Amino acid sequence: MITMKRLKIVALTAVLGILALVVRVNAQDPAEGEQIFKNNCAACHNTNAETLVGPGLQGVSQRRPIDWIVKWVHNPQAVIASGDKYANDLYNKFNKAQMTPYPGYSEAQIKSVVAYIDAQAAPATPQAGAAPAGGTQAAPAAGASNGGMMEYILVALLLVMVLVLVALLSIVTTLSKLASVDPESEAAQNVPFLQRLAENGKKLAGNNAFKTGAALLITLLIGKATIDAAYGVGIHQGYAPEQPIQFSHKLHAGQYQINCNYCHTGVYKGKGANVPSANICMNCHNAIKRESPEIQKIYRAIEKDEPIQWVRVHNLPDLAYFNHSQHTNVGGLECKNCHGEIEKMEVVEQRSSLTMGWCIDCHRKTDVNAKGNAYYDKLVEIHNKDHKEPLKVQNIGGLECSKCHY
Ligand code: HEC
Ligand code: HEC
Ligand code: HEC
Ligand code: HEC
Ligand code: HEC
Ligand code: HEC
């Protein structure tokens, strides 16, 4: 029997649960810390005790209070100028080498970096993201590759939950009014909710406010789908925008055979492949072709501490979920299955349509890569008992709406 009170409790619990999740995600995230560290700090710092350009950062959270570290990373020169003794001693010890300031990172992000450094020091911690346990460990990776993305999603979920709560409560209020029995009264407790609902279903359907509300909701949903569809008619296939620096894949990935994941660091372990930060370019270009005007643009970006404004080529609408590691690492696909021969392109071009039909079509045709993946052994065995065709992606849920849509 469902009473109004119980409904309220259920809805509130759900909202609180999601709130708790949001708070958890807001806390330190060593995976995000790893990302920031590798892209920014690793050029000058080790996570162990060995000196590189700057001191090894092992144990830094014990050496220094966290507030100090945050201030330092935001602006080392300001801390030195403030007369802080520790900072000045360190600065002199490192022959007045100047650390790059990072005013753009939030306190939480810097704490994540420290959490990552601490995790590296802890003995025998399993490497993050080493072996994917199975098909569906997407969420942590998403957080790692896409900063606050997960938070936005959770906040959006929270909003939806609140709306649902309001809707539920108003429906229950309407229902109990229609039932014209006090829902908390004894009589109501004894008549099953569904029975009352059935008795009053007709009255409810006749209720004008309810009708209008339902019609409005349906119109909105159809409207959104239509707009999305209009934007989605393959306009982007062949899209090859001009980039702020004339970076050539043909030269780097083709002629010099630099691995894709040297620059696209997330492609085997995360949701997003990542477009490299200027620091990765600097690994080579602080020595190679310094005089080239195109390379000078990299230096300028570093000096101003502004990311290079690469123009995004591939971009799925937010309603669709795509995960690289699921396809490259678990699925064993190659980049060219979806992107074409990037290593022959002077300028990157979108070769596939990226429509829903494209995803589905491949899921229908492609066999699951079960080799060396114990997770699939049982599935394959069961499948092969009563099928002649090998196990396809569609047989493991590759056509389910919810796998690709939140
Ligand atoms: C260009 C090189 C360089 C980069 C990049 C760099 N640092 Fe430093 N860092 C230094 C140097 C050099 C020192 C030593 C103090 C000095 O000379 O200013 C230092 C000192 C520190 C200290 C104090 C260490 C201690 O033992 O007390 C912390 C903490 C620190 N850096 C964190 C970071 C973090 C976090 C990043 C990345 C977001 C980073 N650094 C990026 C060069 C760098
Ligand atoms: C030296 C670094 C580097 C290497 C190696 C590299 N890339 Fe890139 N990649 C970039 C940069 C920088 C961009 C953004 C500028 C552009 O689009 O050209 C990019 C863009 C891309 C894009 C388009 C991103 C978007 O916005 O949709 C794809 C796809 C891509 N790379 C695939 C590959 C593949 C596949 C390989 C290996 C064959 C590879 N890359 C190797 C640096 C690299
Ligand atoms: C692993 C080393 C390596 C990395 C990393 C790297 N490059 Fe290069 N890059 C090269 C080499 C080698 C050349 C060819 C130099 C020559 O022609 O003498 C080159 C050439 C270039 C040129 C052509 C310069 C000219 O005027 O001829 C541009 C532009 C360039 N790189 C941009 C980038 C950017 C942007 C990044 C970071 C996304 C990057 N590179 C990362 C090795 C690298
Ligand atoms: C199964 C198809 C598929 C494969 C295989 C694949 N990609 Fe992608 N890639 C995509 C899609 C779809 C997007 C657009 C993702 C989005 O917008 O969320 C994308 C986007 C990208 C981007 C833009 C940045 C980002 O993360 O969204 C880069 C860079 C990239 N891919 C590189 C690679 C490299 C390198 C490989 C091979 C190691 C590879 N991809 C393999 C489908 C694929
Ligand atoms: C070139 C073929 C190919 C294309 C194109 C492709 N996929 Fe996949 N996809 C696969 C394979 C293979 C797997 C199975 C990976 C595994 O073993 O878990 C997979 C698995 C998935 C899964 C997990 C399914 C499950 O039940 O575990 C999702 C979600 C997914 N793909 C989304 C997409 C989306 C979204 C697109 C289009 C933007 C897309 N895929 C395009 C080949 C493809
Ligand atoms: C394998 C992944 C995948 C599966 C499964 C999937 N979708 Fe999609 N869907 C997508 C992608 C990717 C897009 C974005 C396509 C674009 O921008 O053209 C999309 C777009 C949409 C749209 C927006 C309209 C449009 O065509 O652009 C709707 C509505 C939709 N899907 C509903 C569904 C429903 C309902 C199901 C289950 C029957 C489903 N999808 C299953 C990947 C998938």
Q: In this structure, are residues 368 and 395 in contact, taking their beta carbons and an 8 Å threshold?
A: yes
* CB of 320 shorter than 6 A to ligand 6: yes
* Residue, of 260 and 11, whose pLDDT is higher: 260
**Maximum distance among all alpha carbons in the chain?**
87
Cα gap 227→225, rounded to integer Å: 6
DSSP string computed for 197-262: HHHHHHHHHH-HHHHHHHHHHHHHHHHHHHHHHHHTSSTTTT-----SS---HIIIIIIS---HHH
* Residues in contact with 260: Cβ distance below 8 Å, sequence separation at least 6, in sequence order: 253, 267, 335, 342
* CB of 356 shorter than 6 A to ligand 6: yes
Query: Binning pLDDT at 50, 70 and 90, where does residue 136 land?
Result: very low
State mean pLDDT over 192-205. Answer: 60
Output the pTM of the full model: 0.61
State mean pLDDT over 198-208. Answer: 62
DSSP string computed for 306-363: ----PPP-----TTB---HHIIIIIS---HHHHH--GGG-SS----S---HHHHHHHH
- Please report the atom of ligand 2 found closest to the CA of residue 314: 27
Cα of 274 from ligand 1 centre, angstroms: 24
* Residue, of 352 and 209, whose pLDDT is higher: 352
By percentage, how much of the chain surpasses pLDDT 90?
A: 48
Query: Binning pLDDT at 50, 70 and 90, where does residue 372 land?
Result: confident
Cα of 285 from ligand 3 centre, angstroms: 6
Give the other-Cβ count within 10 Å of 178's Cβ.
17
**What pLDDT shows up at residue 54?**
83
* CB of 73 shorter than 6 A to ligand 1: yes
pLDDT tens for residues 284-318? 999 899 999 999 999 999 999 999 999 999 999 99
| Lowest-confidence pick of 21-25, 189-193, 360-364 | 21-25
* CB of 260 shorter than 6 A to ligand 2: yes
* Residue, of 292 and 222, whose pLDDT is higher: 292
Query: Binning pLDDT at 50, 70 and 90, where does residue 283 land?
Result: very high
* Cα 35 off chain centre by: 12
Site of tokens 């080493």 = 130
Query: Binning pLDDT at 50, 70 and 90, where does residue 140 land?
Result: very low
For the chain, the average pLDDT equals: 80
* Every domain of the chain and the residues it spans: 1-184, 192-231, 355-406
Nearest CA to ligand 2 atom 6: 260
Which phi and psi angles does 350 have, rounded to 5°? -80, 115
* CB of 246 shorter than 6 A to ligand 3: yes
Nearest CA to ligand 3 atom 6: 281
Q: Rounded to 5 degrees, what angle do the CA atoms 169, 175, 181 make?
A: 115
* CA dihedral over 92, 93, 97, 103, signed as positive or negative: negative
**What pLDDT shows up at residue 91?**
92
* Residues in contact with 124: Cβ distance below 8 Å, sequence separation at least 6, in sequence order: none
| Lowest-confidence pick of 193-197, 232-236, 302-306 | 232-236
pLDDT tens for residues 249-278? 999 999 999 999 999 999 999 999 999 999
State mean pLDDT over 163-186. Answer: 72
* CB of 101 shorter than 6 A to ligand 1: no
Closest CA to 393 of 298, 311, 327, 319: 327
| Lowest-confidence pick of 36-50, 142-156, 229-243, 339-353 | 142-156
Cα of 324 from ligand 4 centre, angstroms: 6
Cα of 352 from ligand 1 centre, angstroms: 43
State mean pLDDT over 38-55. Answer: 83
* CB of 258 shorter than 6 A to ligand 3: yes
Cα of 340 from ligand 5 centre, angstroms: 17
**What pLDDT shows up at residue 297?**
95
Whole-number CA gyration radius for the chain: 28
**Whether CATH 3.40.190.10 fits 1-184:** no
* Residue, of 248 and 376, whose pLDDT is higher: 248
**E strand spans, 50-209:** none
Query: CA dihedral in degrees (99, 100, 104, 110; nearest 10)?
Result: -30
Going from the C-alpha of 332 to that of each of 52, 269, 296, 366, the distances in angstroms are: 36, 12, 38, 11
**What pLDDT shows up at residue 169?**
83
Strongest mean pLDDT among 65-79, 86-100, 193-207, 224-238: 65-79
Cα of 264 from ligand 2 centre, angstroms: 7
* Residue, of 200 and 155, whose pLDDT is higher: 155
* Residue, of 220 and 285, whose pLDDT is higher: 285
DSSP secondary-structure letter at 405? Answer: B
Q: Facing residues of 392 across strands? A: 367
* Residue, of 166 and 233, whose pLDDT is higher: 166
* CB of 317 shorter than 6 A to ligand 6: yes
